[in-house]
């Protein structure tokens, strides 16, 4: 048995049941889904291979190229950019309504 299936505890019987369920659920779309799954696995393996190559390059000091210095004419001084949006002045607030400070409350009755 494949060690991958041993991890999940799947035997041949369980795999057959999963296959039957997949056929019942997906039917005519099953070949398209298998094709998509295959392409996804290939892309995943390419990505993992690229990562492995990158890690090997990091661990191999002889393969590292010295950093190229940028030419002096390529470095530009910072520029000031005028804002593109127009400035809006604050709208003056309407005068506040007078507050009645002589409000009395009736105390609760026992």
Q: Check pLDDT > 70 for residue 73.
A: no
Q: Check pLDDT > 90 for residue 42.
A: yes
User: Do residues 38 and 30 lie in contact, with contact meaning Cβ atoms separated by under 8 Å?
Assistant: no
d(CA 26, CA 33): 8
Mean pLDDT, range 36-65, rounded to an integer: 80
Helix ranges, 1-110 (H): 3-8, 12-26, 30-59
Mean pLDDT, range 47-73, rounded to an integer: 68
Give the 3-state secondary structure of residue 72: helix
Q: What confidence tens digit (pLDDT) does each residue in 14-23 have?
A: 888 988 998 8
User: So where are the chain's domains?
Assistant: 28-62
Inter-axis angle of helices 12-26 and 30-59, nearest 10: 120
Q: Check pLDDT > 90 for residue 43.
A: yes
């Amino acid at each position: 048995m494949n060690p991958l299936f041993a991890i999940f505890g799947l035997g041949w019987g369980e795999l057959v049941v999963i296959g039957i369920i997949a056929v019942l659920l997906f039917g005519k779309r099953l070949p398209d889904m298998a094709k998509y799954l295959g392409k996804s696995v290939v892309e995943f393996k390419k990505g993992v291979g690229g990562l492995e190559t990158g890690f090997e390059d990091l661990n191999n000091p002889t393969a590292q190229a010295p950093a190229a210095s940028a030419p002096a004419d390529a470095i530009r001084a910072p520029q000031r950019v005028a804002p593109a949006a127009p400035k809006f002045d604050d709208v003056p607030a309407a005068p506040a309504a007078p507050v009645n400070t002589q409000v009395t409350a009736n105390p609760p009755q026992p």
